[in-house]
Amino acid sequence: MKNLKGMFVLFILIVNTIIWFVPLVLFALIRVIVPGVFLRQLFTKLSSEMATLWVSCNSFIFSRINHTKWDVHGLEQLSKKDWYLLLVNHLSWVDVIVLQTIFNREIPFLKFFIKRELIWLPFLGVAWWSLDMPFMQRYSKEYLEKHPNKRGQDVIATKKACRKFRDVPTSVINFVEGTRFTKEKRVNSKSPYTCLLKPQAGGLALALDAMGDMFDKILDVTIVYPKGIVSFWDLLCGRFSSVSVDVEKKPIEDWMINSDYQNNSIDRKRFQSWLYELWESKNKKIIKIQQNHISIKNHSFS
């Protein structure tokens, strides 16, 4: 019966997505052809509003099938008029649902840096384009050694993609671990953290290089599923029982914006050191949340 419920909920989500996808894309297409900055900003805001309503409907659907206990801290003094860079640990595809739910109408609609190749994905590529997701062109170290003339082109392309965000408040998510956490990945990557993978500073440095002077704050977001990591299928089947989210505001420091991560080893080490220190603090925070959950659980049985 749980699996049948999951299939039914998935069908409802698909229908809900189609309902909001049509006007979202329509407003995005109109935005491209209308003259004048004012009209383009207007249809950009309308597209974001369609996405916000889509998220609101999804959140309502999930709340009807799950009796989730939300433990969220740090949403005070956030604004939809500010620009934010979110640094988040990554545990499950449910992380995106959690982030969309708690930040919906609290800050500007969440956006991701996406690989340029993914724009050709059916349906999703169009949706991401409609929502002004910044598409990034990243080159590997091996590629740059063979094509040194391409060095720095990824930064230039990303800055160009982000120019539109100067006029419209934006929130950008960066999962700096690069992939979802598992114990196997932690061991294989030789992560020094018990609850996290080793963070990758390159994407963070690129985001700040492209948009650093736009961001008002960094939001250090820590997600914990106290009863175990929840899969997307668990969410659909009503097995999403609890989540803890801690949000801590961090300043954008001048050295972050003025760094040359790719070409300056001193800047690169400074970025990595800052991020490793942040991740060490996040790891301690996760352990504390997990211990508090165990303590409460043991107390309830005593």
Question: What tens digit of pLDDT does each residue of 8-43 get?
Answer: 999 999 999 889 888 988 998 898 888 887 888 888
21 is a domain residue? no
40 is a domain residue? no
CATH number at residue 88: 3.40.1130
pLDDT exceeding 70 applies to what percent of the chain? 93
Residue 106 tokens, joined: 């609290």
pLDDT grade for 115, boundaries at 50, 70 and 90: confident
pLDDT digits (tens, 9 = 90+) for 196-242: 999 988 888 888 887 878 899 999 999 999 999 999 999 999 999 99
Complete edge-to-edge strand list for the sheet that includes strand 110-112: 69-73, 242-250, 217-224, 84-88, 171-174, 110-112
29 is a domain residue? no
pLDDT digits (tens, 9 = 90+) for 40-49: 888 888 888 8
pLDDT grade for 135, boundaries at 50, 70 and 90: confident
Contacts by residues 226-231 (CB-CB < 8 Å, ≥ 24 positions apart)? 226/289, 226/290, 226/293, 227/293, 229/91, 229/92, 229/181, 230/92, 230/94, 231/92, 231/93, 231/94
Region of 283 (left: φ > 0; alpha: ψ -120 to 50; beta: rest) is: alpha
27 is a domain residue? no
- The DSSP H or E segment spanning 242 is strand 242-250
Read off the pLDDT of each residue in 1-12 and give the average, rounded to a whole number. 88
200 is a domain residue? yes
Q: Which domain holds residue 209?
A: 67-301
119 is a domain residue? yes
> How many structural domains compose the chain?
1
CA distances from 290 to 18, 70, 108, 181, 300 (A): 38, 14, 30, 16, 15
34 is a domain residue? no
Residue 247 tokens, joined: 């949000």
